[in-house]
Amino acid sequence: MRIAHYMQDIDFTRGGPPRAVIDQVATMHARGHQAGLLTTNVRDVPRSWLDGTPDTPEVVELPAVRGSFGRLSPAAIERVREAMGRIDVLHMHGVWEPANLQVAAACRREKIPYVVSLRGMLDDWSMDQSRLRKRVFLALGGRGYLERAAAVHCTADAELEQSRKWFPRGNGVVVPNLIDLEPYAELPDPSPAQQAWPEINEPSLTVLFLSRIQVKKGIEHLIDAIAILQRDGRADVRVIVAGSGDDDYVAAMRARAETAGVADRLTWAGHVGGDLKNSLYAACDVFALPTSQENFGFVFFESLASGTPVVTTDLVDTCHEIERSGGGVIIPQDATRFAEAIASFSSGERDGIAMGAAGRAWTLENLDTSRVASEFEAVYRSRVGG
């Protein structure tokens, strides 16, 4: 098949979705499909793709969106339409970008089926943010964009259950995100992270927070949990905070840790990626993310694949899968509950090594790249020519 993906920005600092797109394009190309990418921002597109190296996916770089409404120019739309002549199906990512509606309209004109990945944008928590603006957008074209798609892709049953009310006449499908598990075929080596952050080698329990530092991710609950543990003397815990965010918000969270008396228990590592990120998963004892919403959460399954158990909230769409893996603890978004869960690893009530091994085995089997890619291929084939 000839499969192209459209995402407005391929920028890994925006979280997991851009990485998911790159992984999907690369995997489909490796499986013998003619795979390509359309985007206005090539920041984290592999350099070999941009250089046109033989036997790499085609990249169509579009002019940046413009104006207060973030729309594509007529010249950009013409480039999109030209690309339509070389594909069988277009996989689009995102809901709220006005340019997505333009690209979808081009697909319909050229009679090219398109699939839309929601990326959690219609989850209940997400829909409670900027409520009026989102409902107006859906009324003025967003709902039609979704309901006229060949398929609306969700990554978990819980996401589809929350989202389907916003596109009642649409065709929802559930397929896990495609993860490149090759870096986890062998357990990552913890030594690079241990060298980069020597405090990991201390006898305290090391908890990893790896994500964007923003309100949704709930880091304040983790800071408060560490303060509870320190106050009660229940566990000796250190937290590695790996991620970046708005300077003012990061400063506010650092001040919160200072006020709570736990500033010396947190290491602010900044953005960590690549092999060092995988090493950091393996070097830590527990991964904790007190998030308000995730539709999939690459970090959970990367941590499990690295043999490190996960503690997160029941607000995550894949919480049932994480718990079912045997490597996850699912609790309400509450500092006391996070303190209790972390303490259970320190006390030996929970066996972190055994949980990590169970979670790793489950992830490598159930999120096997070939298995998930086959599910996407089935979705595409059923829509092409339909």
Average pLDDT, the chain: 95
pLDDT of residue 155: 94
Does pLDDT of 323 surpass 90?
yes
pLDDT of residue 385: 57
The two tokens of residue 275 are 């092999």
The two tokens of residue 361 are 């085995």
> Coil, helix or strand for 80?
helix
pLDDT of residue 14: 76
Residues 1, 380 contacting (CB under 8 angstroms) = yes
Average pLDDT estimate for 287-300: 95
Summarised one tens digit per residue, pLDDT across range 106-161 is 999 999 999 999 999 999 999 999 999 999 999 999 999 999 999 999 999 999 99
Greatest Cα pair distance in the chain: 65
| CATH 3.40.50.2000 placement within the chain | 2-181+368-383, 182-366
The two tokens of residue 226 are 């560490």
Please tell me the pTM assigned to this model. 0.87
Average pLDDT estimate for 66-81: 94
CA–CA dist 213, 243 (Å, integer) = 6
Summarised one tens digit per residue, pLDDT across range 4-57 is 999 999 998 777 789 889 999 999 999 999 999 999 999 999 999 999 899 999
Least Cα distance to 33 among 58, 7, 1, 64 occurs for 1
CA–CA dist 158, 316 (Å, integer) = 9
pLDDT category of residue 270 using cuts at 50, 70 and 90: very high
For residue 242, give the amino acid letter: A
Share of the chain above pLDDT 90, in %: 94
> Coil, helix or strand for 342?
helix
Summarised one tens digit per residue, pLDDT across range 187-218 is 999 999 999 999 999 999 999 999 999 999 99
pLDDT category of residue 383 using cuts at 50, 70 and 90: confident
**Domain 2-181+368-383 maps to which CATH number in 1.20.1600.10, 3.30.390.30, 3.40.50.2000, 1.10.3720.10?**
3.40.50.2000
User: What number does CATH give the domain 182-366?
Assistant: 3.40.50.2000
Residue 11, number of CB atoms within 10 A of its CB: 16
The two tokens of residue 33 are 């499909």
CA–CA dist 218, 91 (Å, integer) = 31
CA–CA dist 209, 247 (Å, integer) = 17
CA–CA dist 149, 143 (Å, integer) = 10
Least confident of 6-20, 99-113, 308-322, 323-337: 6-20
pLDDT of residue 13: 77
Residue with tokens 């228990």: 265
Does pLDDT of 102 surpass 80?
yes
Least Cα distance to 141 among 179, 113, 100 occurs for 100
Average pLDDT estimate for 328-341: 98
pLDDT category of residue 300 using cuts at 50, 70 and 90: very high
- For residue 277, report the phi and psi dihedrals to the nearest 5 degrees: -60, -45
Does pLDDT of 386 surpass 60?
no
Rg, Å, the chain Cα set:
21
Average pLDDT estimate for 300-323: 97
Summarised one tens digit per residue, pLDDT across range 245-268 is 999 999 999 999 999 999 999 999
pLDDT category of residue 384 using cuts at 50, 70 and 90: confident
- Cα–Cα distances (Å) from 5 to 83, 90, 171, 336, in that order, read 11, 6, 19, 43
